[in-house]
Structure 1
Amino acid sequence: MRIVFFTKYFCPHIGGVEKHVLNLSKKMLEKGHDVIVVTEKLYLQQDLSGHQKVSLGHLPGAQANLEDINGIKVIRINVGRDSWFKKFRIWNELLKIRKILISADVIHCHDIFFWYLPFRFLFPTKKVFTTFHGYEGNNLPSRKAMLMHKLAEKLSSGNICVGDFLNKWYGTNPNFVIYGAVDISESQISNLRSQNHISKLKNNNYLTNLSLKILYVGRLEEEAGIMEYLRALKILKERGYNFSLDVLGDGSQKKEAEKFSILNNLDINFKGFVEDVDKYLEKADFIFTSRYLGILESFAKKKFVFAVYNNPIKNDYLEFSPFSKNISINRNYMDLAEEIISVLKNEKDTLEKIEKNYEWVKKQSWNRLAKIYFKLWSKQV
């Protein structure tokens, strides 16, 4: 079967959707399918790290590069900079590679259904599917955003929602609801069994003598709550708690975050985007993150998660999840600071939540996720 994925960005660009499509594509390849990813050309190329890339040149008649990444064929179309005309450039470039679209058994859009919109009418019998991954930045959904979700749903043969909150906020009726995936190897399980994950709590009578190692995973944006996390750490420092924080991510609030850290003499290391998050997760005592991928990866390492929200949709994003009762969800930095102290003091309850999260996440494998996609497609193809 030939599967064509549409995604705005793809490896080496780092992000949750990018990782989702990459790992899903790998599973499709393992099952003997042909996978093609259609995505935007990257203007600022990043290191591919462990991903083996082979350039296959240009596609005839199109301003598109063809690559091979670990067996995944990647078509990068040149759509130019963001502007009102961008969608027309996208459609024009896709028209030039229409033979690939025609040859596909499955076309699956990750959020960007509008890329395929005109082709839905050009190829009315072609089955197309959509995964809705999230919501738009710091604001509540606009009427336009809700309309686009409903349009994509109506014109798709089926859809997957990443999170139950999408039904409430966009009116999307999913065929399946997912929360992402992780793979835990047998060696990882053995290693986790041998670790005492909150041993610092057991070996210290005075919490202020702790030297906590904290990890932040996410973009440095208002929606992700970076400044709320830093303000909470300022309170902890004032109360005598010792800690260091590694920040994995980048964004528009980086300079503000760095300035705040310096002014308040906080022990914080800004690492930027990194591909290998696991090695940082393993060393951390607990995690600051509020996106599903980061949360699941933290669970897989048996780490407790503190999340923050800045508006009602982000609150529902977290509260509607199956693990909401076993993480700390906070509205502001004052609540967060108190929650951190409470978690440190209530070791038994914290350990129970960590174990519940771990048992749940063990079932959320990429193989399981691939089966959900095949189940969706098999009903329609």
Structure 2
Amino acid sequence: MQKKRIHILFFAINIKNGVVRITMNFLFFSAQFLPHMGGVENYTYNISKKLIEYGHQVTVVTSNTTKSPSIEIYEGINVFRLDCYNLLNGRFPIYKKNKIFRDIFKRLDQQNYDFCIINTRFYFHSLLGAKYTYKRSIPRIVIDHGTSHLTVHNKLLDYMGEKFEHYLTWQLKKYCKNYYGVSKASSKWLGHFGITSKGEIYNAIDLDRIENIKGHYKGEFRKDHGIPEDSIVVSYTGRLIKEKGIIQLIRAIQEYNNQSGEKLYLCLAGEGPLQSFIDEHTSEFIHYLGRLTFEQVICFLKNSDIFVLPSDSEGFSTSLLEAAACKNYIITTLRGGAKELLPDDTYGIVIENNDLDSIYNAIKDALNHRDKKNATSKAFERVKSNFTWDVTSRKLLEISQSKFLNP
């Protein structure tokens, strides 16, 4: 019955020349959601907003990691938050089966959902969503956001975590046959679990909003931070964790400034466990900006020259796309989304790994690049054509209305 309904929707869209005329009811299972901050949270939020803009309805089932209302309408999105055990500082919530859980699922049972999106594989929350939609015959997909196993930098715990992830994925495969990645690297990573990805539903940004912020910016970032106008600013935005290569980046800048007559300025924005390390290494040339609002991040990147993301593991970094949208010259590692954004060295620099020498040499190469302006323009145009929420949301709509989707 469900497959027949999707078949009908598919033809209704063709008759209307690709314009969606029928309201669909979308259900997301995402272990974390706003106001908890993170890439998956923003991914869910922005796609949800676009689907609502197109005339559809959206419900998000998530974990209550922030002591937020259990049930609310968040900017037009129906949000249900399950009470949870907040493990690993919110990185791994586990839902509680209590009265709130039962009340929320009673409400879900009162609705008819056309399609479900499950974000990430390795949460009990994801398995819950797969089982629930399987039992109700709701078409479902899983979107993977990773390119490696989760790490807590403890060999024993990391080993146990890998075994757990394989077990949970094995369970998940019983209830869902349709898997996608947020980048080709994420799709490739699915193969590690014996899963063939059906394609990519890319991470993206709101380019119109970014352009609007850039156009209205009237601040004096460099003056406010004591940075000369003619100097080179290297930037990083994102989570302050070891996997991002932040320690090596700071040391590369220090080494360059010690060996070169030219001084580079490094500015880092974000929050996380490495805040104290960064505080200890702040100087005239290394500035920690703290956690910034979205508008502040864009204004910061507008004043930056080179953006460096030397990460060990990425699905497809939002920070990378934002930096490209602000026409920074990009240096990043060969991780999720890197080659989609920077297909060759005329767009920016992609390094194999994030050891100190690789980052140091990449920064030197970037400074000596003869045509950085053309490279940044090409990367900007690539974002504009491929990595906006309009593009990603329309891809998701095509998938949700496909008559070829497995149940």
Superposition TM-score tier, normalisation by shorter sequence: 0.7 to 0.9
1:256-311 alpha-carbon deviations (Å, 9 max, x no partner): 2222335xx64312312533321211111121225521111111111112224xxx
CA drift at 1:137:
3.4
1:21-66 alpha-carbon deviations (Å, 9 max, x no partner): 1111111111111111111113367xxxxxxxxxxxxxxxxxx621
Pick aligned residue for 1:252 from 270, 273, 276: 273
For the structure 1 residues 215 and 2, does the alpha-carbon distance in structure 2 shift closer, same or farther, using more than 3 Å as the test?
same
Q: Structure 1, unaligned stretches of length 5 or more?
A: 46-63, 193-207, 309-314
1:207-259 alpha-carbon deviations (Å, 9 max, x no partner): x9952222211211111111011011111210233233332211122212222
More divergent stretch after superposition (283-292 vs 225-234): 283-292
Give the structure 1 partner of residue 294 of structure 2: 275
- Secondary structure of the residue aligned to 1:288 is strand
Residue 205 (structure 2) pairs with residue 188 (structure 1): no
* TM-score, length-scaled by structure 2: 0.73
Pick aligned residue for 1:28 from 51, 62, 65: 51
For the structure 1 residues 241 and 44, does the alpha-carbon distance in structure 2 shift closer, same or farther, using more than 3 Å as the test?
farther
* TM-score, length-scaled by structure 1: 0.77
Give the structure 2 partner of residue 211 of structure 1: 231
Provide the aligned C-alpha RMSD in A. Answer: 3.2
Give the structure 2 partner of residue 168 of structure 1: 188
Q: Which amino acid aligns with 1:5?
A: F
Pairs aligned (count): 337
Pick aligned residue for 2:308 from 269, 283, 288: 288
Give the structure 2 partner of residue 158 of structure 1: 178
Counting aligned pairs with the same residue, the percent is 21
Q: Which amino acid aligns with 1:116?
A: G
CA drift at 1:116:
1.9
Give the structure 1 partner of residue 132 of structure 2: 119
- Secondary structure of the residue aligned to 1:129 is strand
Residue 150 (structure 2) pairs with residue 137 (structure 1): yes
CA–CA distance in structure 2, aligned partners of residues 300 and 357 of structure 1: 8
The 5 A counterparts of 1:1-381 are 1-43=24-66, 65-82=70-87, 87=94, 89=96, 93-102=100-109, 103=111, 104-111=113-120, 112=123, 113-120=126-133, 122-123=135-136, 125-134=137-146, 135-138=148-151, 142-149=162-169, 151-153=171-173, 155-156=175-176, 158-171=178-191, 172-185=195-208, 188=211, 211-238=231-258, 239-261=260-282, 266-272=285-291, 274-276=293-295, 277-289=297-309, 290=311, 291=314, 292-308=317-333, 315-317=334-336, 321-325=340-344, 326-330=347-351, 331=353, 332-348=355-371, 350-363=372-385, 364-379=387-402, 380=405
More divergent stretch after superposition (236-245 vs 3-12): 236-245
CA drift at 1:159:
2.7
For the structure 1 residues 269 and 88, does the alpha-carbon distance in structure 2 shift closer, same or farther, using more than 3 Å as the test?
closer
Q: Which amino acid aligns with 2:142?
A: T
For the structure 1 residues 92 and 66, does the alpha-carbon distance in structure 2 shift closer, same or farther, using more than 3 Å as the test?
closer
**Is the Cα–Cα contact under 8 Å of residues 130 and 176 in structure 2 kept in the other structure?**
no
